[in-house]
Structure 1
Amino acid sequence: MASIKLSQALQVLEQGVERMDNPAGKAVCLSICDAQGFLVSFVRMDKATLRSIEIAQRKAYSSVRLGLTTAAFDARLKHENIPIGYFADALLTALPGGSVIHNESGDIIGGVGVSGLTPQEDQELADDLAGFAKTL
């Protein structure tokens, strides 16, 4: 099973930090995991909240384990009216901000998790970074 390489993960994180380097001073945690959901690389920007550390990692993990964005997972839970506990995985989260990273063949090679902005902004940045990762 192919997985994202450390060099690629670091480029994705660098891209994310550059995107957040703005006058508004917003800070996030960014997490990249491999195709199995294990952490490859992580960054916590200055002034990012402590709770965002774990949340970003769980968003990346969840997107890989489920094969979809955490926003899509959240929508599924709401649509089907089922609790997240039914999935029997305590590390899953349905908070928007997790996205799957695919290679050029469409295989899942990793996941990206973003935490620290609004849920919608987290998801938008995660989706953008997953798209960027596909170009590497």
Structure 2
Amino acid sequence: MASIKLSQALQVLEQGVERMDNPAGKAVCLSICDAQGFLVSFVRMDKATLRSIEIAQRKAYSSVRLGLTTAAFDARLKRENIPIGYFADGLLTALPGGSVIHNASGDIIGGVGVSGLTPQEDQELADDLAGFAMTL
């Protein structure tokens, strides 16, 4: 099973940090996991909240384990009125901000998790970074 390489993960994180380097001073945690959901690389920007550390990692993990964005997972849970506990995986989260990273063949090679902004902003950045990862 193919997985994202450390060098690629670091480039994705660097891209994320560059995008957050703004006068507004918003800070996030960014997490990259491999195709199995295990952490490859992580960054916590200055002033990012402590709770965002775990949340970003769980968003990346959840996107890979489910094969979809955490925003899509959240929508499914709401649409079908399914408690998240039914999935029997205590690490899953439905908070928007997780996105799947695919390779050129369409295989899942990893996931990206973003935490620290609004849920919609987290998801937009995660989607953008997943798209960037596909160009590497």
Q: TM-score, normalised by structure 1?
A: 1.00
Distance 2:61 2:82 in 1: 20
**CA apart distance, 1:95:** 0.0
- The alpha-carbon deviation at position 62 of structure 1 amounts to 0.0
Deviations 1:15-50 (A, max 9, x none): 000000000000000000000000000000000000
Specify the SS of the correspondent of 1:92. Answer: coil
What's the offset of the Cα at 1:91? Answer: 0.0
Q: What SS does the corresponding residue of 1:27 show, helix, strand or coil?
A: coil
Q: CA deviation at 1:69?
A: 0.0
* Number of the residue aligned with 1:99: 99
Distance in 2, matches of 1:54 and 1:82, equals: 23
Unpaired segments ≥5 residues, structure 1 = none
**CA positional deviation for 1:125:** 0.0
Deviation at 1:85, TM superposition (A): 0.1
Q: CA RMSD in A?
A: 0.1
* Structure 2: unaligned runs, 5 residues or longer: none
For 1:106 and 1:20, the matched residues in 2 are separated by 28
SS at match of 1:111: strand
1:83-103, Cα deviation, whole Å (9 max, x unpaired): 000000000000000000000
Following the alignment from structure 1 to structure 2, what is the Cα–Cα distance between the partners of residues 86 and 79? 15
Distance (Å, rounded) in 1 between the aligned partners of 2:82 and 2:19: 35
Residue 30 (str. 1) matches residue 33 (str. 2): no
Q: CA deviation at 1:109?
A: 0.1
Deviations 1:48-92 (A, max 9, x none): 000000000000000000000000000000000010000000000
- Aligned partner of residue 9 in structure 1, secondary structure: helix
Report matched runs for 1:1-136 at 5 Å. Answer: 1-136=1-136
- Could you tell me how far apart the structure 1 residues matched to 2:128 and 2:122 are? 10
Q: Distance in 1 between matches of 2:57 and 2:42?
A: 8
